């Protein structure tokens, strides 16, 4: 099979297409013939040497989500059969023509989505569902502030939160991106390059913050949170080391939490998959949640990574092994 590897740590140019042996699946895994695979920020971090793969995952083939067709099933696989169309969450190795994956980490490909659209779903949906609705405990009467509204996590969080809570506020890096966030369901979008989001939202009720920025955003988030508010960190693009005023946490009864997904247990990811299929798949079927993707052929993987790092993208970037038939 073809696979895209990190030949050495560095820029997008270190990604190379090579030939590899097909993965061997276990009794509880399915072998998927991959039609499309998503690109995510963790892939960039891994490429640069800042995000090593967990034990058991491919060390040099990145990729955390795919969509394709079940080619083989292990003897203990109960749900899936050869020919089923699925998308799946991986701990690595997704930039390959074939992947072996725990059957419980697969979801049926929505009938109204292409393989490219379906490949954009698992990593962001699993991340948002856990951090916004489980750790952040977003409720119907709550308001949420989502940073990075134009990225894959952002567009997912906006669409889901808008169906389940009272108000959605977001930050994005241009007027055009802010306008697109409003179209997706945000009530207010703030261009952080033109305005200070803390100034704009002062005296606004904020119950949950989903933060991928860190740095000086950390204190501003705490300042904005209402009493009993929850801040959930999923990245720290501007820096992970921050100062914390414990008295502010105590006085406002704030919860500060965060998580990473990749290294979590198989059972944890399986439980997330069940909840997402129950609560999100109906929204996709009803076209109340719409993937937003820019598609590249696998041969343009260097260009795709370059585009992601440029900051110009809105939504997810997906690569396909056969562009003409997959989108």
For the record, the structure tokens of 114 come out as 């292409």
For the record, the structure tokens of 234 come out as 């999923």
Q: Which helix (H) or strand (E) holds 79?
A: none
Partners of 38 in the beta sheet?
A: 318
Q: What's the whole-model pTM score?
A: 0.94
Q: List the chain pLDDT tens, one digit each, 327 residues.
A: 999 999 999 999 999 999 999 999 999 999 999 999 999 999 999 999 998 888 888 899 999 999 999 999 999 999 999 999 999 999 999 999 999 999 999 999 999 999 999 999 999 999 999 999 999 999 999 999 999 999 999 999 999 999 999 999 999 999 999 999 999 999 999 999 999 999 999 999 999 999 999 999 999 999 999 999 999 999 988 889 999 999 999 999 999 999 999 989 999 999 999 999 999 999 999 999 999 999 999 999 999 999 999 988 899 999 999 755 444
Q: How far, in Å, are 227, 255, 296 from residue 52 at the CA level?
A: 38, 29, 25
Residues 129 and 248 in one domain: yes
Which of 200, 227, 258 is the endpoint of a domain? 258
**CATH label of the domain that carries residue 267:** 3.90.180.10
Residues 146 and 175 in one domain: yes
Residues 131 and 103 in one domain: no
So what's the pLDDT on residue 305?
97
Residues 253 and 151 in one domain: yes
Residues 137 and 246 in one domain: yes
Q: Which helix (H) or strand (E) holds 189?
A: strand 188-191
**CATH label of the domain that carries residue 210:** 3.40.50.720
Residues 216 and 145 in one domain: yes
For the record, the structure tokens of 66 come out as 């795919």
Residues 223 and 192 in one domain: yes
Which of 217, 243, 258 is the endpoint of a domain? 258
So what's the pLDDT on residue 325?
47
Residues 223 and 319 in one domain: no
**Domains of the chain: total:** 2
Instruction: Give residue 10's domain range.
Output: 2-121+262-326
So what's the pLDDT on residue 207?
98
The answer to whether the CB of 142 falls within 8 A of the CB of 117 is no
Q: CA torsion sign, 56 to 268 to 114 to 77?
A: positive
Residues 287 and 217 in one domain: no
Q: How far apart are the C-alpha atoms of 25 and 98, rounded to whole Å?
A: 10
Residues 116 and 150 in one domain: no
The answer to whether the CB of 181 falls within 8 A of the CB of 170 is yes
So what's the pLDDT on residue 326?
47
So what's the pLDDT on residue 263?
87
């Amino acid at each position: 099979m073809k696979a895209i590897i990190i030949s050495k740590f560095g820029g997008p140019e270190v990604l190379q297409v090579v030939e590899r042996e097909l993965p061997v699946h276990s009794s509880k895994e399915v072998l998927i013939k991959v039609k499309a695979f998503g690109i995510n920020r963790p892939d960039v971090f891994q490429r640069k040497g800042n995000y090593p793969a967990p034990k058991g995952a491919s060390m040099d083939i990145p990729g955390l989500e795919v969509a394709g067709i079940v080619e083989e099933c292990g003897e203990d696989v109960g749900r899936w059969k050869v020919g089923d169309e699925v998308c799946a969450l991986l701990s690595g190795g997704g930039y390959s023509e074939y992947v072996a994956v725990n059957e419980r980490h697969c979801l049926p490909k929505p009938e109204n989505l292409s393989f490219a659209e379906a490949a954009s779903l698992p990593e962001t949906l699993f991340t948002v569902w856990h951090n916004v609705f489980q750790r952040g405990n977003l409720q119907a009467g709550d308001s949420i502030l989502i940073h990075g509204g134009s990225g894959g996590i952002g567009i997912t969080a906006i669409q889901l939160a808008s169906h389940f809570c009272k108000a959605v506020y977001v930050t994005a890096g241009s007027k055009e991106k802010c306008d697109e966030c409003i179209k997706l369901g945000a009530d207010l979008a703030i261009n952080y390059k033109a305005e200070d989001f803390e100034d704009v939202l002062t005296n606004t009720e904020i119950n949950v913050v989903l933060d991928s920025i860190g740095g000086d955003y950390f204190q501003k988030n705490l300042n904005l949170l209402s009493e009993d508010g929850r801040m959930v960190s999923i990245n720290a693009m501007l820096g992970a080391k921050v100062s914390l005023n414990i008295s502010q946490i105590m006085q406002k009864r704030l919860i500060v939490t965060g998580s990473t997904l990749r290294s979590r247990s198989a059972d944890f990811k399986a439980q997330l998959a069940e909840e997402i299929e129950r609560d999100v798949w109906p929204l996709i079927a009803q076209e109340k949640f719409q993937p937003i993707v820019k598609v590249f052929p696998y041969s343009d993987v260097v260009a795709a990574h370059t585009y992601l790092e440029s900051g110009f993208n809105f939504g997810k970037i997906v690569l396909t092994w056969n562009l003409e038939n997959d989108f």
